[in-house]
Amino acid sequence: MTAPPDLKLLDGFERALINERLHYAYQPKISLATGKLKRVEALVRWHDPEMGAVPPSRFIPLAEGHGLIDQLTRYGLDRCFTQWKEWRAKGIECELAFNISAMNLNALDFPDIVEAKCEEHGVPAECLVLELTEGSTQSLVNLMDTLTRFRIKGIGLAIDDFGTGYSTMKLVRQLPFTEVKIDRFFISDATRSMDSRVIVEAMIGLAHGLGLSATCEGVETREQIQLLRAMECDVAQGYGVSKPLLAEDLPGWIEQWEAGWDEMIAP
């Protein structure tokens, strides 16, 4: 008898996690003021020998539902911090953005675990930004407590996929975020539709008004880069900057990207 698909997926994922066969792709985020690399976002990748590439949208919920998310997050931090050190040794200076699950925040010692990992690997807390998507089951008071503890340690906090959830306005006002990541849904037609453009500009203004940095994700074209620069958006990320890269391809990408920046922003 063959196992039902979800169990097969869960079993495969658990084995990949235990055997350290999950890896990370890194997507560059650039400063729109200078064109320089600011940060990379680590995105987990699982390639199963039988099933092929399984997207995080399929296995992250599974990990969350089966008590494996804390283990995945700890594993990912170790992998990505090790990678960050390798880049640093080659003279590449960039911050690291790492996605966490709202469920990770249920563990009261999570901020201490992250801080200990930073210390263990020699990654300054200021070089780490945690990205959190709305959807926590925690009360606002608990969230406030946990997120504040990250901020006290100097770790940055981004609200991911901003604008798509129910209570993002409330969250961004009350919680100690440092960055707003405007969901790619809004940027996708901002160069064509006046309405979308107004919304993107308003969200950038909202972020700045609250003292937060504004990032646009899903930036795919040169026109969008130019538009976002005109709107004084701080950071851009998307296929138009770079697809998520293998770690070893980052140095070559930086060289190529920086050489093309003047042309990218030329009228």
100 binds, among Mg ion, ligand C2E, none (CB under 5 to 8 A by kind): ligand C2E
Nearer to ligand C2E, 115 or 183 (CB): 183
d(CA 140, CA 43): 27
Q: Are strands 23-31 and 235-236 parallel, antiparallel or unpaired?
A: antiparallel
- Residue 242 near residue 253, CB atoms below 8 Å: yes
Q: Contacting ligand C2E (CB under 6 A), which of 8, 21, 23, 43? A: 43
With CB atoms as reference, the residue minimizing the distance to ligand C2E is: 238
d(CA 176, CA 182): 17
Nearest C-alpha neighbor of 63 from the set 30, 97, 18, 120: 18
| 99 belongs to the binding site for Mg ion (CB under 5 A) | yes
Q: Contacting ligand C2E (CB under 6 A), which of 23, 165, 226, 244? A: 244
Helix (H), strand (E) counts: the chain = 10, 9
Report how far apart, in Å, the C-alpha atoms of 71 and of each of 15, 150, 238, 239 are.
12, 19, 28, 30
Q: Which of the stretches 97-105, 227-235, 244-252, 253-261 binds Mg ion when contact is defined by CB under 5 A?
A: 97-105
Nearer to ligand C2E, 3 or 61 (CB): 61
Nearer to ligand C2E, 64 or 258 (CB): 64
Binding track over 200-239 against ligand C2E, x by CB under 6 A = -----------------xx-x-----------------xx
Nearer to Mg ion, 95 or 217 (CB): 217
